[in-house]
């Protein structure tokens, strides 16, 4: 049975690599996502709307970082709200755009860890040798 350990999938997601093999790039540009992994042929978007869940990750990280930023700037450093508002609004607008790719990669890594039942059908590893597991050694980092 194919399975990607959580720590391996998490590291691969932070490098924007395929969660299954760790070699193929998930994105070919700033926004454009590859349909399949160039190394193992793993299909990234399992079904239409699959990456809707990544918006929760993106929203969560944005909210937590915004809250921490407000606490540090206003409570710890003592800046008034009128000074703190502009940088935090800018952060709220820009951070989700920056984090978009990472949120998708993390979502896919989480899904590969929690629901690995369909992984065998989606990779050429399973077609080539159905008895072996997907290699999970992360030699590239």
Which residues sit at the interface with Zn ion, rule CB under 5 A?
18, 20-21, 24, 37, 39-40, 42
Geometric angle at alpha carbon 93, from 108 and 71, rounded to 5°: 95
Helix (H, G, I), strand (E, B) or coil at 38: coil
Q: Given the complex with Zn ion, which of 40 and 103 has the nearer CB atom?
A: 40
Report the alpha-carbon distance of residue 121 to residue 70 in Å, rounded: 46
In the complex, the smallest distance separating the C-beta of residue 41 from Zn ion, rounded to whole angstroms, is 7
Q: Given the complex with Zn ion, which of 73 and 109 has the nearer CB atom?
A: 109
Q: Given the complex with Zn ion, which of 17 and 100 has the nearer CB atom?
A: 17
Q: How far is residue 83 CA from its own chain's centroid?
A: 33
Strand ranges, E, within the chain: none
In the complex, the smallest distance separating the C-beta of residue 124 from Zn ion, rounded to whole angstroms, is 9
Helix (H, G, I), strand (E, B) or coil at 28: coil
């Amino acid at each position: 049975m194919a399975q990607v350990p959580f720590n391996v999938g998490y590291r691969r997601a932070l490098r924007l690599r395929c969660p299954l093999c760790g070699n193929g790039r998930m994105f070919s540009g700033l926004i454009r996502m590859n349909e399949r992994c160039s190394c193992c042929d793993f299909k990234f978007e399992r079904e239409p709307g699959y990456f809707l869940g990544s918006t929760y990750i993106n929203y969560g990280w944005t909210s937590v970082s915004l809250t921490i930023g407000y606490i540090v700037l206003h409570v710890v450093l003592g800046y008034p709200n009128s000074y703190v508002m502009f940088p935090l609004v800018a952060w709220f607008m820009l951070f989700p755009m920056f984090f978009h790719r990472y949120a998708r990669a993390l979502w896919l890594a989480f899904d590969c860890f929690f629901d690995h039942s369909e992984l065998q059908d989606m990779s050429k590893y399973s077609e080539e040798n159905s008895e072996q597991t997907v290699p999970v050694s992360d030699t590239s980092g």
